[in-house]
Amino acid sequence: MVLNVPRGFKFVGINCGIKKCKKDLGIVYSEKECLAHGMFTRNLVKASPVIYDMKLLQENPRLIRAIVVNSGNANACTGEEGMKNTVRMAKKVAEKLGLEDKTVLVSSTGVIGLQLPIEKIESGIERAVNLLTDDPIQFAEAIMTTDTAIKISYRELELSGKNVRILGIAKGSGMIHPNLATMLSFLFTDAKISYDALKKLLENAVDKSYNMIDVDGDTSTNDTVIVLANGLAENKEIVEGTRDYEDFRSAFDEINVELAKKMVEDGEGATKLIQVEVINAADEKTARKIARSIVSSNLVKTAIYGEDANWGRIIAAAGYSGAVFDVGQLTLYLSDGYRKVKVFEKGQGILFDEEMAKQILSSTRVFLTIDLNFGNSRAVAWGCDLTEKYVQINGRYRT
């Protein structure tokens, strides 16, 4: 990999035997202690590592040195033994890398309800720590479950004369729904930044990215987004209300949106990316509600899969979103990014070029624009189509 990873971060990904052949264990290590913040699933049922990380980041957000991740097993609904295994994963990494206790975060992703094969993981950790390199690709592979491609996004920027790098690595392709999806996303930066600024940046970015995607409407027990900042770029500390903050925010947001889009493009069984943009809404909340409702509709997803300009389903999904708007003012456009066709205006469908609509819908990226013609607010959500393959993948996942 030719990209310049953030200074001081090392990566590894191996197979430790949870899965038959594919990589299933990854570690990221920082040479210097990191400032860290995390956001986690809102599901009442939280996996052991989620509970563990939430507590650790509250107690000790300034001295994080490593993250260990396994795929193939979510360590969710596993009771006391599950929590013991999470602690054992963290301890083994700390021991082998000579780190203090409580400086290692843990994530798990995969099937719910099975106990981890902890001995395999522990001996995997012993091997993995000797294989850390600058290359994040094997780590990105190790965190995959039903993903068909790795998900990496990267930006490099100058902040007051200093070169700063941000790297995002994510996974996720099923059980994906607004309010954090079945997804893991790790952000690494060598920027020096204040805790308040880092916290705010992450919360804003998550709201615009992972909270605006949908594959199948299911919110998982393991959703996790973590950012680590080790300060090795030696820039002037980034604080809110500065030009540096804005520049950093812009790059950080782009990375998170890019990763979120990669997740839905790789949605289980998906053949098309669906982007829903709501413009000229009374307020952002209205725009978000409508965008999320449309992108989550099974009927919209299947219509787009079938390349059918069945705009009635789009309007119906806007209608049941819970947002208040005037359908008599609503205009709806379909686009593939090149061609654009207006199909609905002022409360009713209009005559449109069905041939062009068909061509637009045959694209692998379908853009819906809903103009509410009312205010100035805007929101964008992303999803994918619903296909026979999604049903096949999920009818046979566990067996």
Q: Which residues are catalytic?
A: 182
Q: Single out the residue of 250, 306, 339, 362 in contact with a second copy (rule: CB under 8 A).
A: 306
The least CB distance from residue 361 to a second copy, in Å, is 11
Between CA 344 and CA 240 the distance in angstroms is 42
Between CA 263 and CA 273 the distance in angstroms is 10
159: its two tokens: 């902040």
The 10 Å Cβ neighbour count of residue 339 is 13
Site string for a second copy, 377-396 (x = CB under 8 A): ---------xxx-xxx-xxx
Q: How many residues bind a second copy (CB under 8 A)?
A: 68
Nearer to a second copy, 72 or 82 (CB): 82
The reply to whether 351 sits near a second copy by the rule CB under 8 A is no
Interface with a second copy in residues 188-247 (CB under 8 A)? 216-221
In DSSP notation, 259-270 reads: HHHHHHHT-TT-
The least CB distance from residue 220 to a second copy, in Å, is 6
Write down the residue that tokens 């200093």 correspond to: 162
Q: Among 23-31, 75-83, 162-170, 363-371, which window interacts with a second copy (CB under 8 A)?
A: 75-83
Site string for a second copy, 250-289 (x = CB under 8 A): ----------------------------------------
| Three-class HEC string of 296-352 | HCHHHHHHHHCCCCCHHHHHHHHHCCCCCCCHHHCEEEEECCCCEEEEEECCEECCC
Nearer to a second copy, 34 or 264 (CB): 264
The reply to whether 291 sits near a second copy by the rule CB under 8 A is no
Which residues make Cβ contacts (< 8 Å) with residue 199, sequence separation at least 6? 37
Nearer to a second copy, 312 or 337 (CB): 312
Tell me the CA end-to-end span of the chain in Å, nearest whole number.
36
Q: Single out the residue of 148, 179, 250, 362 in contact with a second copy (rule: CB under 8 A).
A: 179
The least CB distance from residue 310 to a second copy, in Å, is 4
Between CA 159 and CA 168 the distance in angstroms is 19
The reply to whether 311 sits near a second copy by the rule CB under 8 A is yes
The reply to whether 76 sits near a second copy by the rule CB under 8 A is yes
Q: Among 50-58, 71-79, 90-98, 124-132, which window interacts with a second copy (CB under 8 A)?
A: 71-79
Asked whether the beta carbons of 88 and 222 are under 8 A apart, the reply is no
CA distances from 206 to 159, 181, 184, 253, 258 (A): 23, 11, 12, 8, 12
Asked whether the beta carbons of 12 and 125 are under 8 A apart, the reply is no
Between CA 18 and CA 111 the distance in angstroms is 11
Write down the residue that tokens 């995969």 correspond to: 110
Nearer to a second copy, 189 or 221 (CB): 221
Report the b/e string of 19-32 with b at 16+ CB within 10 A.
Answer: beeebbbbbbbbee
The least CB distance from residue 76 to a second copy, in Å, is 7
The reply to whether 79 sits near a second copy by the rule CB under 8 A is yes
The least CB distance from residue 304 to a second copy, in Å, is 9
The reply to whether 333 sits near a second copy by the rule CB under 8 A is no
The least CB distance from residue 73 to a second copy, in Å, is 11
The least CB distance from residue 14 to a second copy, in Å, is 26
Nearer to a second copy, 79 or 161 (CB): 79
Interface with a second copy in residues 156-175 (CB under 8 A)? 174-175
Residue 337 CB-density burial (10 A; 0-12 exposed, 13-18 middle, 19+ buried): exposed
Q: Which parts of this chain interact with a second copy (CB under 8 A)? A: 42-46, 74, 76-79, 81-82, 111-114, 174-175, 179, 216-221, 296-299, 302-303, 305-313, 315-321, 323-325, 327, 344, 346-349, 386-388, 390-392, 394-399
